[in-house]
Structure 1
């Protein structure tokens, strides 16, 4: 039996790496999500931070935008970021989420925790 090629080994970077959103669950990732609906003035950012801390090992922030959306940036293991995204979409949030748009990227770092901005 021959060894698998580097791109077929678990965890090896390949064409499916984080920027395309296909990284392995444990690989580090950066999620940026824009949440629209009635999400300002209802404690949405506070609950998003609390959920990120509950999931654990996520850094980033939740911030109100001038157009009424909330921007959420989370960095950590892909699986943990996906759990936060699922919660944002689940409807178990304060206010009323009308939709969530997300992009995936490689982590940039620079966050000491998960904060409200």
Structure 2
């Protein structure tokens, strides 16, 4: 499968509910590279890079999130792969 990269934002109740940490766990389980971080406006920003099927699976998970999250919207757009390795929570 082709390697793809998506960048975007998740809105709703996604801060203070372990959304970033859970995203990192899911990304590592799926062998996806990239990062996740909180924004001052209450959204979460993500960059995902990996095999197309795995990234699509994580995209579906982002719409649900961890148990305490209430996701309102996921807005992701394709980018040129960046060659990132590993997945981190940015602060």
Q: TM-score, normalised by structure 1?
A: 0.71
Root-mean-square deviation (CA, aligned residues, Å) is 1.2
Assess, with a 3 A threshold, how the Cα gap between structure 1 residues 108 and 92 changes in structure 2: closer, same or farther.
Answer: closer
- Return the index of the structure with the highest Cα Rg: 1
Q: Residue 84 in 1 paired to residue 58 in 2? A: yes
- 1:44 is aligned to 2:19: yes
Bigger relative CO (Cα 8 Å, ≥ 6 apart)? 2
Contact 1:60 1:115 in 2 (8 A): yes
> More strand by proportion, 1 or 2?
2
Aligned counterparts of 1:104 and 1:112: Cα–Cα separation in 2: 18
**Which consecutive residues of structure 1, in runs of 5 or more, have no partner in the other structure?**
1-25
Match of 1:68 in 2: 42
TM-score, scaled relative to structure 2: 0.90
> What is the distance in 1 between the residues matched to 2:54 and 2:30?
7
Per-residue deviation, 1:92: 4.5
The SS at the match of 1:40 is coil
Aligned residues: 89
Structure 2 counterpart of 1:29: 4
Runs (4 or more) in structure 1 with deviation over 4 Å come to none
Partner residue, 1:114:
87
Number of the residue aligned with 1:96:
70
Cα gap change, 1:65 to 1:92, in 2 (>3 Å) = closer
